[in-house]
Amino acid sequence: MADLIEIITANRLRDGAVVYWKQGGWTVTLADADQFTDRETCVAALTLAQERVAAGEVVNPYRFEARRDNAIAIPVKERELIRASGPSVHPELGKQADPATAPKFHVAAPAKPPRPKQADGPEAFDVSL
């Protein structure tokens, strides 16, 4: 059975990386993030996280819902699944490319668009402007 939890996230100001709140600091891996089971504790931690904005460490800290399945945090919303997996523009970049930082849940790689069909016949040689 999956339990609902909350996690705090932000973007690191130095390089824009997605980071997660962990014991008064930040981590780049969702698996290492603090998992809050009650709203009051999460809100108190979010207040501390927001102080890091003034310190120039992060921008836009906020909390999001996840479900905990066998101690693995799995974001409920698609946006957070994408943020946890790294950039979606290339499967060999970002968190998904490094086994040490890749999320422990599976996110399908973006589908490759079909290759355009090669034209044949007279239109294949039409170079008019």
Q: What is the pLDDT of residue 122?
A: 59
Q: What is the pLDDT of residue 16?
A: 87
Backbone phi and psi for residue 44, each to the nearest 5 degrees, phi listed first: -65, -40
19 in a structural domain: yes
Is the model more confident about 6 or about 91?
Answer: 6
Per-residue model confidence as pLDDT tens digits over 73-111:
999 998 998 888 876 666 566 666 666 766 666 555 556
113 in a structural domain: no
CA–CA distance, 74 with 104 (Å, rounded to integer) = 9
125 in a structural domain: no
26 in a structural domain: yes
121 in a structural domain: no
122 in a structural domain: no
44 in a structural domain: yes
Q: Confidence class of residue 129 from pLDDT cuts 50, 70 and 90?
A: low
Helix, strand, or coil here: 54? helix
Number of structural domains found in the chain? 1
Task: Identify the domain containing residue 66 by its residue range.
Answer: 3-92
62 in a structural domain: yes
